[in-house]
Amino acid sequence: MVEIRPCKKLPCKLKKGTEQFITIEFTPDTDFHDIKNKVSANVFGVNVPFIGVDGNSICSKVFTESDEKAECPLKAGTKYLYKDSFPILSFYPTIAVQVRWALQSSEKEFICFEVPAKIIQ
């Protein structure tokens, strides 16, 4: 389950100067010791890292199903919620993009999704 707020319909409108919120519900099938975001935007056919989000550890932003703070390592078979926010910076170009968001551990992706978005004024 992935939720991006305040996205009400696709493509998500990402307004410059605002904060967007994301929640990802997942259950790992193996223990993970460190997990990082891998977030990029496809801009005119080129994948560009999403500055301020890409490469960040998520270990401090993971919660249990009962909304208690969890910590890495995450245990296989346990349901977790990753909750984060990210800024839409003012210097981002005003364009349509395809955002690709993945969670990875030791360079191995275990969750990924893509969402169409428009960066707007």
Torsion angle (degrees, nearest 10) of CA 66, 109, 37, 81? -10
Whether the ω angle into residue 93 lies within 30 degrees of 0, i.e. cis, is no
pLDDT surpassing 80 at residue 94: yes
Provide the pLDDT for residue 71.
Answer: 87
Provide the pLDDT for residue 44.
Answer: 87
Calculate mean pLDDT across residues 32-51. Answer: 90
Q: Going by DSSP bridges, is the β-strand pair 96-105/80-87 parallel, antiparallel, or unpaired?
A: unpaired
| Domains of the chain as residue ranges with CATH | 2-120 (2.60.40.770)
Calculate mean pLDDT across residues 85-95. Answer: 90
Helix (H) or strand (E) holding 99: strand 96-105
Q: Going by DSSP bridges, is the β-strand pair 108-120/12-15 parallel, antiparallel, or unpaired?
A: parallel
**Of 19-23, 41-45, 106-110, the least confident:** 106-110
Q: CB under 8 Å to 95, separation ≥6 — which residues?
A: 43, 118, 119
pLDDT digits over 42-81, tens only? 988 899 998 888 999 999 999 999 999 998 999 999 999 9
Q: What is the reported pTM?
A: 0.88
